[in-house]
Structure 1
């Protein structure tokens, strides 16, 4: 039986591995296809056991990481109901909305640089550093005494959290081929919905500590959740998984098989390839990058509007503070379940577009009901289920679709970072969509949510048309002549620009 060894010459191994392909897709690098099943036998690797091994080490870690990140980001919505606005004079004008908005300024600007730093420093170092930082800053939010203090902590919280979402999506994309990715993306993204639901339950319990050691309940929400984040971050320094090329928990043969499978799906790309400014600028010349940004941007506006203001909206339906926190949980749970179900079918059919359209349509129905119904509390509450379910189930499908359509470390790192960074500009719009002066009907907020959800659907349709047009052009052999004139290094960096690459739908 042939077994790969550490002594194999790098160029020989690269040539050998890059020749692998999936059963339904030509090798993205243009190399002669080889049966991955045969390769698994030669390397003495069980693909199912290997997949389970990777899943157990990678996905739960990223879920916990982002659960804490999202919890620390949106717990201000729970804290607001426990007296934070009054204590910090946030009831004056739009101060509360400004405090929400300032988070997004560094969050947007630092996402692409963060992905580049993660590539350089490695995930097991960079992600725990970010996690410990935002945990510490969350604790500090619990001891601020005025408006200036909350602005400062929210600003630095945005900076510390900027690497979480794009970094985690980037890391998942570097471990799984496109037909495997959606379930993992949705499972990861479900941590967002779990954080929303868990945050409501936790806040209702922590709020009972009001007055302990002279601190109001809202302060304890920040302090306890921040300390928990810091403790987990310290453990993650030793547990976090790196890129496949340097994964110590895999054997040499297992790493070889993973690299071959990934090379067959999106083309070969080495983690240690040097990324230049020219490489980064090349990514920004791709018009599809901007369509991907608007696809995500259109959902971020209503999604953050829901995350930050759902407790306030539910409170306006006539519930007490504790009842509000508890009633905020079921819509998040429904969104989590819908996300997991849609991911299974999306991966099974290897299709994303119709799922994004269907799920986003559910959210638009929810916003339409909220705009038209102002008296029946039960109907309004049910509409919140539709909004949460549609938005938070569609978002992972969109990001999976676009991220896995970027090939190679550089294009995927820059592309995913920019998409999430640009999309989060929508968070700024969301924070000013629901003003206290618009309560209890919040007509402007619901209208904005509906409009941007439609924008996402239009952008998804345009993205589908463009990628399928490019696939047809490549089917005709356009671009192969120019491709053959490229150097090996240029081909390795080309990623999805290879004429042998086919975009998923």
Structure 2
């Protein structure tokens, strides 16, 4: 890079300091951007810093608070609605089973379990390519909106299944298209929110799943009880038709109103765009625009695969997912309380409503304190207590109480999700790969979980509860190891804090030095 370019970088550092924003940082292992790209990046950042230079610290804080509130109101409702329909479509089979779907399709228990788990084949294989493609296109509004519309149509087609083979084909394609949503939604959140905002927003997003679990029973009770054989169509078929149509409508809303990324969302003013970009740069130690530093999807993939933190996160989340595998079988588990089909479906609602409160306040406190490990392990330990209670008694009151605290163990699961972005904050393609990879590997827990809650083990399900409790312990142990690794990395950054810029630039600590000087630290 030329001397004039270095002078320009120095002036930008000064301007950045005055505007409370750090200089852009190169990424270890990234390809040096071409002079034209570097000049464009410098010009763009200089323009944005100039827009912010006139703001006092108080004005900057007020403007940032207003921006976050505006983004919250535009982004979060759409993602929540999409997630509600995502889980309603994916888990409709649990309610449809009570409506006679398994009997109508002549499926044995093994075929039923395979019909549930086969979805995760496409879901696993497509997550990494899908997340990187969305990041490369830079248009999450179009990409996500179209994906939601397509999976809504596929879910509706489940009503036309009349054999085991038809069901498998539909579920495979449903998994392929749904692969775009959850890792994509986590990536979108990581682009808009800082690390001390991310757990709360992830909990709000995940409320879509919990709300869908609560609504699923109510919706299924209404449809199975009131629409069975309407127009000569079985109630469980109406369930897939109506939920699929609702999904398509939500997809249309996302196609029109979902924000793009911070640097290219047309609903923001120039000043708001500058604030949105710079606040994330300050939080992570570098600008968060894909490709600016020469990184590619392939280099991001290799960087993620070489980072042991990514694999620890994958193990932690996989066993956590297995521990909460009761999700897909919840109506059947609640059915062990001895109530009728409709009352059983209605009983699921208050359990998930309580779980949502636990998830939200646990995540909010995690953001407030900046702590992650305890906010993961404590809810999961409470969940283990629920598994133990459910294993040793079928007493109505004790079993109902156990179901409540089993569901509240989702509080730990939800905090693991933002820990991915907290632990792999940059560069963008590496983070996109890490989010998708961790979520992708964790689906092994869902596949295994499809076989954990075998109806032959009812009503105590002690074998199932033992497996889930053991999985939760493995997840907690892995989280503890991850915490130690991140603490060691933070100590290394602290040791480099006082070094002069460039002192280790051409050594192995070059990138760490830049992060240390940007006051970046991992959350543990």
TM-score of the two chains, using structure 1 as the length reference:
0.89
Write the distance in 1 (CA, Å) between the matches of 2:517 and 2:174: 39
- Aligned pair partner of 2:386 in 344, 366, 370: 366
Partner of 1:245: 263
Write the distance in 2 (CA, Å) between the matches of 1:261 and 1:135: 36
- Aligned pair partner of 1:173 in 184, 190, 205: 190
CA contact (8 A) 1:483 1:499 kept: no
- Aligned pair partner of 2:302 in 278, 281, 298: 281
Write the distance in 2 (CA, Å) between the matches of 1:482 and 1:51: 37
Write the distance in 1 (CA, Å) between the matches of 2:270 and 2:25: 23
Partner of 1:265: 283
What's the CA shift string for 1:221-267, capped at 9, x where partnerless?
A: 10000011012212221111111010111111111112111111112
1:174 offset after TM fit, Å? 0.7
Partner of 1:384: 403
Write the distance in 2 (CA, Å) between the matches of 1:106 and 1:79: 22
1:327 offset after TM fit, Å? 0.7
What's the CA shift string for 1:168-195, capped at 9, x where partnerless?
A: 0110011111111121111111111001
CA contact (8 A) 1:338 1:393 kept: yes
Partner of 1:159: 176
What's the CA shift string for 1:327-350, capped at 9, x where partnerless?
A: 111111011111111122112112
1:496 offset after TM fit, Å? 7.2
1:442 offset after TM fit, Å? 1.6
Partner of 1:233: 251
1:396 aligns with 2:414: yes
Partner of 1:7: none
Write the distance in 2 (CA, Å) between the matches of 1:457 and 1:498: 32
1:150 offset after TM fit, Å? 1.0
SS of 1:415's equivalent in the other structure is helix
Change (3 A) 1:258 1:322: same
Matches within 5 A, 1:104-503: 104-121=120-137, 122-207=139-224, 208-266=226-284, 267-273=286-292, 274-303=295-324, 305-374=325-394, 376-390=395-409, 392-408=410-426, 409-477=428-496, 484-485=505-506, 501-503=520-522
Change (3 A) 1:504 1:481: same
Write the distance in 2 (CA, Å) between the matches of 1:386 and 1:474: 39
Write the distance in 1 (CA, Å) between the matches of 2:10 and 2:273: 15
CA contact (8 A) 1:50 1:254 kept: yes
Write the distance in 1 (CA, Å) between the matches of 2:308 and 2:483: 13
Write the distance in 1 (CA, Å) between the matches of 2:503 and 2:239: 59
Write the distance in 2 (CA, Å) between the matches of 1:16 and 1:115: 35
1:499 offset after TM fit, Å? 8.7
CA contact (8 A) 1:29 1:501 kept: no
Write the distance in 2 (CA, Å) between the matches of 1:386 and 1:44: 39
Change (3 A) 1:17 1:201: farther
CA contact (8 A) 1:18 1:260 kept: no
Write the distance in 2 (CA, Å) between the matches of 1:89 and 1:45: 61
Matches within 5 A, 1:86-101: 86-90=103-107, 92-101=108-117
CA contact (8 A) 1:20 1:264 kept: no
Q: Aligned pair count?
A: 485
1:133 offset after TM fit, Å? 1.4
- Listed as ranges, the gaps of 5+ residues in structure 1 are 1-9
Write the distance in 2 (CA, Å) between the matches of 1:214 and 1:349: 56
- Listed as ranges, the gaps of 5+ residues in structure 2 are 1-7, 27-48
What's the CA shift string for 1:94-123, capped at 9, x where partnerless?
A: 111010110111111111111011112320
Write the distance in 1 (CA, Å) between the matches of 2:412 and 2:112: 29
1:434 offset after TM fit, Å? 1.1
1:318 offset after TM fit, Å? 1.1
SS of 1:179's equivalent in the other structure is coil
